[in-house]
Amino acid sequence: MSWTFKFDFSTTTPAGTNMPPKEEGSYKVKIISTDERDTQAGNRRALFRLMVLDGKYKGCTLTDGFNFPTAPDDFVMSFWMAFLLSLGVSEKKLAKEFNLKGDALVGKTGHLYYIPAPEGAYPTLKWISAEQHEMYCRIAEEAEEEQGVFVPLKGAVAAIAEAVVVEDNGVEPPPVAAAAKSQDPLEFIEL
């Protein structure tokens, strides 16, 4: 007897291809897909599949996500803000009300600090600025040069991240090459 089944792999990743970095560190990543799910508690959540763009873990993938805020003062707003700042949106732009298009985030790049999951737990992903990423990389390189081997920076780098404040100096960065359909690299934000 033969069988028939209708397949749609448009939102599926092949088994065994989600391989996160094995080491703690700062990574430049690109959003390769986004999806929306409901949490077990019934909250709406945006999920982001990310790919590491450089270094020895280039091509490794990570998944991160944020619940959608349910009120203007919802604590998840700070996570969304860190995420959008990492993608290059200025605090000045974030100070206004806007709509965010999830699909338009695909292809955007940002930076995050990643700590692999301990046994039976989830990994830690913290969205950081390009400046913080450069600082982490510099610290890791210096430690590696001093020790002669890679030295995970563990909590020391995370503590430094809390102390770094990146101020919006009012200067807009030059636009990133936009998709053919638009010249605005921040088109995913509707002001």
pLDDT (tens digit, 0 to 9) for every residue of the chain, 191 residues total? 778 788 887 766 666 566 889 999 999 999 999 999 999 999 999 999 999 999 889 999 999 999 999 998 899 999 999 999 999 998 998 988 888 899 989 999 999 999 999 988 999 999 999 999 999 988 888 887 777 655 555 444 544 444 444 455 454 544 544 444 555 555 555 54
> What pLDDT, on the 0 to 100 scale, is given for residue 88?
93
CA neighbor of 107 nearest in space, from 185, 45, 174: 185
For 134, half-sphere exposure in the C-beta direction (CA atoms, 13 angstrom radius) is 4
Distance CA 178, CA 101 (A): 15
> What pLDDT, on the 0 to 100 scale, is given for residue 189?
57
Distance CA 122, CA 137 (A): 24
> What pLDDT, on the 0 to 100 scale, is given for residue 163?
46
> What pLDDT, on the 0 to 100 scale, is given for residue 158?
46
CB 44 within 8 A of CB 68: yes
Q: What's the pTM value of the predicted model, to 2 decimals?
A: 0.69
> What pLDDT, on the 0 to 100 scale, is given for residue 183?
52
Q: How far is CA 94 from CA 13, 66, 104, 121, in A?
A: 32, 17, 17, 33
Q: What do you get for the CA distance between the two ends of the chain, in Å?
A: 58
